Structure 1
Amino acid sequence: MAQSGKRTAGQGRWPGKQCVDPFTADFDMLQTQPVSRSVRLNGFSTCLRLEAVYWGILERIAAANQCSVSAVLSYVDREVHLRQGGVRNFSGLIRVICVAWLQQPPTSH
């Protein structure tokens, strides 16, 4: 998720209010397209459907951990079962993890 270009305050679609444009200069609507991938989570095959932007973030998380996206997903699946007893909406959990990771990226060692 590149954030090139400055976001400017100006008259947006909110009448009578100044707003900061939430769209980055290089915003690509293709990032909103859902992408389904077959993944193996701790030995079980399943299909995970996420918007393209989240697959990109997962690739960054995997690269930071020097592992595959499947390994990241398996780790999350295992940890959520150990910590919380599971989760009903795994796709939603992955989206939140991606956003949380971007909000507070790990420090470099």
Structure 2
Amino acid sequence: MARLSGRDVSEVARFPDIRNDPFVREFDMGLVCPLSRSVRLNGFATCLRLERVYWDILADMARLNDCSVSALLSYVDREVHLRHGGVKNFSGLVRVVCVVHSLSEGGHHPR
């Protein structure tokens, strides 16, 4: 657990009132727990470590596409190579794909 020094406390005191609390009622801290899962990406076995919330979103995306999470991730892996020549941080890409999906489902459009 992080401890606040006297300076940190004074900095926190300067924050404006937060009107929309990011810790929504019934916030599930379990969603923060990282989980490592073995997946096959286009035939190659690998391990992917993501927080549970992202695995939940991926499961929903796979359900919407009537495929497995591995098939969905294989598609993302293949498309990022075809469209952009690859990516250095595949886990980061997957997190962003999940956030963009969630925003589009809620009617929000990222820049």
* TM-score, scaled relative to structure 2: 0.79
Alignment of 1:21-60 (within 5 A): 21-60=21-60
Aligned to 2:7: none
Structure of larger gyration radius: 2
* More deviation, 81-90/19-28: 19-28
Aligned to 1:18: 17
AA aligned to 2:54 is Y
CA separation of 1:18/1:40 partners in 2, compared to 1, >3 Å: closer, same or farther?
Answer: same
CA separation of 1:70/1:23 partners in 2, compared to 1, >3 Å: closer, same or farther?
Answer: same
Structure 1 unmatched runs, 5+: 1-12
Bigger fraction of residues in strand = 1
Runs of 4+ in 1 over 4 A off after TM superposition: 13-16
**What percent identity do the matched residue pairs reach?**
60
CA deviation after TM superposition for structure 1 residue 28, in Å: 1.0
Q: Deviations over 1:36-87 (max 9, x none)?
A: 0000000000000000110000001001111110110000000000001110
- Where 2:66 maps in the other structure, the secondary structure is coil
Aligned length: 95
Q: Deviations over 1:4-33 (max 9, x none)?
A: xxxxxxxxx654632121111121111111
Aligned to 1:95: 95
CA distance in 2, matches of 1:60, 1:42: 20
Bigger fraction of residues in helix = 2
Q: Are 2:62 and 1:73 equivalent residues in the alignment?
A: no
CA separation of 1:27/1:66 partners in 2, compared to 1, >3 Å: closer, same or farther?
Answer: same
- Where 1:104 maps in the other structure, the secondary structure is helix
CA RMSD, Structure 1 to Structure 2 (Å) = 1.8
- Where 2:105 maps in the other structure, the secondary structure is coil
